[in-house]
A and B are shown apart, each in its own frame.
Chain A
């Protein structure tokens, strides 16, 4: 099993749609979790951290299920500017600064 696994995508959705991304991780000792977005030919940028209680930032909601080792990202009311690749990122090595990246899921929001 891969350390961090994401929906393969791509997701093509109309403007205004709600879209959900899923991610699973293999190391039960993982401590911190993040969603990054990466635009084409650019560096990843932090979208949001994921907390155990779940957290929301505007149209974006992140959830963590430690028992199932599962992370999700929900985007409501999709905008054209949301088109990007969304990376699930996990600190999979306890006591380490190192992060492991999922392969990413590409989202295209269509007018």
Chain B
């Protein structure tokens, strides 16, 4: 079945540094990938839709200059949290669809970011 790999699984960084998270589709091509964020005891919230070869589409309230998304190939999307602050500490998850519109999403294993 479709597999999505996300790296790193967890990261601890100091306030002000930038963190890059990679999301790869391992056995299928994904023209579209999605980035979600989940705070403790909250639901998954879509941050942005990453489109291969074009600009990402950000959800309302998500700063595009802070959360840089690059989808340079059909199997790789990256999310860079720039100048991270403690309030950016969260669980970041990417996902991709390995089929048509009505097929389910497959998720990466998530990245737990802690900013100190």
Contact = CB atoms under 8 A, between A and B. Distances in A.
Interface of A: 31-32, 34, 41-46, 49, 87, 89, 91, 95-104
Interface stretch (B69-77, B81-89, B101-109): B101-109
Interface stretch (B11-19, B40-48, B60-68): B40-48
Contacts of A102: 43
Interface of B: 6, 32, 34, 42-44, 46, 49, 91, 93, 97, 101-110, 112
Contact of A42 (B44, B46, B105, B109): B109
A46 B107 CA distance: 9
Contacts, number: 51
Contact of B43 (A32, A42, A43, A104): A104
**Chain A contact surface mostly:** loop
Contact of B101 (A31, A46, A89): A31
B109 A43 contact: yes
Contacts of B109: 42-43
B49 A97 contact: yes
